[in-house]
Amino acid sequence: MVLTRATDPTASVWLAANAGTGKTYTLIQRLLRLLLHGAAPHSILALTYIKAAAAEMAQRLQAAVNRWATLPDDLLQTEITQLTTQAPDAATLSHARQLARTLLATPVTIGTIHSFAEQLLRQFPLEVGLSPGFKVLTHPADAALQSEVIKATLIDPTLTT
């Protein structure tokens, strides 16, 4: 089954698909399996393109573990078996119930590719030729400046070196 391979916590996976095909669902299932498998929340990075999608992923993940914290044992066992294709033992059930509290204390990093790239640039500005404390240009507030830089570069390409 494709979903099982895409959510396998022991596999390295790149997920790309058209809108509305279940990417967010699959990513949440993968995150849940990673957490059940023992991955530390702070060691997980989930990236998407859109801020709203990142927020939705974070909300869905927290909602899933919150649900696990209150499910009766038999229903929790069924959900975990469906997710992992293996019946959970008592330790796994206990771990699943604790994940809601764990994620509140140490959340999984879920964000956009752009925010992740900006974070890296802020950590290592000199290594990529930026001034520390640089400002990211955003549209439309900085559209005029962007336009000026583009025009100047097209007129005299040596300005960029």
Residues in the chain: 161
Give the CA diameter of the chain: 70
User: Which residues, in sequence order, are bridge partners of residue 111?
Assistant: 47
* pLDDT digit string, tens, across residues 109-147: 999 999 999 999 999 999 988 899 888 877 666 777 777
- pTM reported for the whole predicted model: 0.78
Which residue, among 40, 146, 28, has the nearest Cα to 99 in the 3D structure?
40
Which residue, among 61, 104, 111, has the nearest Cα to 83 in the 3D structure?
61
* pLDDT digit string, tens, across residues 32-81: 999 999 999 999 999 988 899 999 999 999 999 999 999 999 999 999 99
